[in-house]
Structure 1
Amino acid sequence: MSANNSLFINPFSSRYTFEEKLFFWLRFGVLGCFVGHGFWGIITKKGWLPFFKVFFINESVAYNFMPLIGGMDILIGLILFVYPNRALLLWASFWTVFTALLRPSASMGMSEFFERAGNYGVPILFLLLYGLPRTTEMWLARLKPLTSVSFEQSYMVEWITRLSLFSLLAGHGGLAVFMQHPILLKNLNGIGLNMGVESLQIFGLIEILLALLVLFRPRIPGLLIFICLYKLSFELLFPIVGKPVDVFETIERMGDYVLPMILFEYYRSKYYILARKQALATKA
């Protein structure tokens, strides 16, 4: 039976296979990240200025570049959702890592880089899952849902998602513990939690503990669903506490919600059982 290649499916429905859900979640994660990020370029977000200063680009030139970068991001996100291909996934992987690295380069701390693992973890997984071909034709060919998942691909799905989730949770916790990030304080205080520095650090330590659970005990019942709902709820604080337009901050972090769903579906699939059996057989 051929896989369903529709643009939109219900990834929560049992009608679809793991491969079909995986294909949708990966495309959806990249779409949200690039459209959300691109929007801030279109409206020339002042918070981007420090990233241009890393390359000694002055403010007026930076503001001229922002809409071009934002438009490029949105276009790439839309193309990868409709016509996913390895060439653009290679660019998406590079671009998301590059933009995440700009934050510590602009003296914002390494936690900012690790916290954005949801942005780069999704396109990296997408690209490596389908492999790096040798011909130009295959780099540009439209990708389709996998018909099956090999042991190596199964291993890749589990560990890239686990490491990405660990990184984004630990990085977010690091923003609270080491930096007492003002945006975290603003969002949490904005819903009446009255967080001080010490309570914010405790909050961050709990997130780091959650990250360690994902790394070492990801199959605790309900853990991955909790992380998905927690991350979505937390990032929704941007438009709730700030302005409605800040919902694009929530959208940009789509990978944070997609990754736990991919891992959740993987542990429910036949591939996890087969991978466990093969791993045990190898040890024996």
Structure 2
Amino acid sequence: MCFIGHGAFGIITKPGWVPFFQALGINEATAFRLMPIIGTSDITMAIFVLLSPCRIVLAWMSVWALFTSLLRPMAGQGYWEVIERAGNYGIPLAFLVMSGWARSWREWFEPILPRPSIEPNQARMAHVAIVLRITTGLLLIGHGGYGAFMHKQMLADQYASVGLSGVPGGLGTLVSGIGWFDMFLGAAVLVAPLPALLLFIFAWKVATEMLYPVSGAPFWEFIERGGSYGAPLALFFLISRRAARDPIGGSVKVPAREGVA
């Protein structure tokens, strides 16, 4: 979802991308010519993952998503942008960790095939839980920074679009308050990722990300942010599945190294 949504913005040549190209010394005219190429590449990678995932594609997605996130502070938008986009690079990284490190160059390019008859490697799944836990915490803290520290006008516009402009203290207070609440949720996940908390965060992120199309932005904005609500949901299922025999709870315990599943 992240790469399909991001790729769609490249194909429709989103003007908001121009500053990121300029941060790399690429002029506006060239930027608009490159956008559809990058967009097509992003969507192609997403299709690979949906139909026949392989480790090299997942590794590329993680690196590329982190790189594009870093372009935002390079363009003067602040490092909260990098933290908030943890879902973009954290989800493919979690998938890569779950798949196991390639033991040869050939394995980097081979399809990752599910083997339901084989019990997952418990140490590996504990590492996946750690990646998802950090990803969820970071994306919440980063989004909270938008409101608590950056006081983004975009957030005020979103809350106004659902009739919250008349709250006591004004939209500025609401933006700041919700920002601190997001940061509290992020810290709570890092300390104790309880299943009920993760379900709430999933619903919360779906609702807050839906504010993009509700306030007039293209629906691709919601799709591009799939990692923001996908990470807590994936962590919820992982914790729920393992709760009986290896509860993750407040601290993820990594079992002794086992053989490769």
TM-score norm. by structure 1 comes to 0.82
Report 1:1-284 matches (<5 A): 32-146=1-115, 147-194=118-165, 195-219=170-194, 222-243=196-217, 246-270=218-242, 273-274=245-246, 279=253
Q: Secondary structure at the match of 2:150?
A: coil
Structure 1 unaligned regions, length at least 5: 1-31
- 1:80-124 deviation per Cα after TM superposition (whole angstroms, max 9, x unaligned): 110100111111111011011111111111110000011111001
RMSD across aligned positions (CA): 2.0
- Kindly indicate whether the alpha-carbon contact (under 8 Å) linking 1:38 and 1:73 is maintained by their aligned counterparts in 2: yes
Q: 1:251 is matched by which residue type in structure 2? A: I
Q: Measure, in 2, the Cα distance between the counterparts of 1:240 and 1:79.
A: 30
TM-score norm. by structure 2 comes to 0.89
1:281 to partner: Cα distance: 9.2
1:222 to partner: Cα distance: 2.1
Q: Measure, in 2, the Cα distance between the counterparts of 1:101 and 1:204.
A: 21
1:165 to partner: Cα distance: 0.5
Q: Secondary structure at the match of 2:25?
A: coil
1:149 to partner: Cα distance: 2.1
- Kindly indicate whether the alpha-carbon contact (under 8 Å) linking 2:2 and 2:227 is maintained by their aligned counterparts in 1: yes
The structure-2 alpha-carbon separation of the partners of 1:280 and 1:130, relative to structure 1 and needing over 3 Å to count, comes to closer
Q: 1:61 is matched by which residue type in structure 2? A: T
- Kindly indicate whether the alpha-carbon contact (under 8 Å) linking 1:154 and 1:272 is maintained by their aligned counterparts in 2: no
- Kindly indicate whether the alpha-carbon contact (under 8 Å) linking 2:122 and 2:255 is maintained by their aligned counterparts in 1: no
Q: How many residues align?
A: 247
Which stretches of structure 1, 4 residues or longer, exceed 4 Å deviation after superposition? 278-282
Structure 2 unaligned regions, length at least 5: 257-261
Q: Measure, in 2, the Cα distance between the counterparts of 1:266 and 1:281.
A: 15
Determine what percentage of the aligned residue pairs are the same residue.
37
1:198 to partner: Cα distance: 2.5
Greater CA deviation, 128-137 or 47-56? 128-137
